Amino acid sequence: LPPYEVLPAEVSMEELPRNTSVLVEDKPEPLPQPPPRDHLVWSLFTTVYGNFCCLGLLAFVFSVKSRDRKVLGDYSGAQSYGSTAKWLNIAALVINIIILIIVVTVLAVLFASALRHMNPPPTY
């Protein structure tokens, strides 16, 4: 706001003009934020293909909640639920990769052991 000044004593209110000008400036519209991600497809694939300890199912539930919040216009709630779904998907993916590595390693050791017993080394 502009600073207000006291009228000098020799100027009376009757001598001043009776109209008032108001200058209104338009604020530029803020750029629209992209809607938060709900990770629904990722959660669906995690539920179907790698549902270790129901982490995929929990991620799917949080993804649906995020989508519902986004439809209602609650972007902060949608972002919160979407973030939870993302971290559950990441946890399920990491656990599934670790399980896959363990299974492949155990199968390779068993296969190598079976081959060794089928073809014993020649004795001289």
- CA dist 77 and 124 (Å) reads 75
For 75-94, how does the pLDDT look when each residue is reduced to its tens digit (9 = 90+)?
A: 999 999 999 999 999 999 99
Q: Which of 27-41, 47-61, 110-124 has the highest mean pLDDT?
A: 47-61
Which pair of tokens denotes residue 110?
A: 């068993």
How is the chain split among helix, strand and coil, in percent rounded to 5?
65, 0, 35
Please say if the pLDDT value at position 109 is more than 90: yes
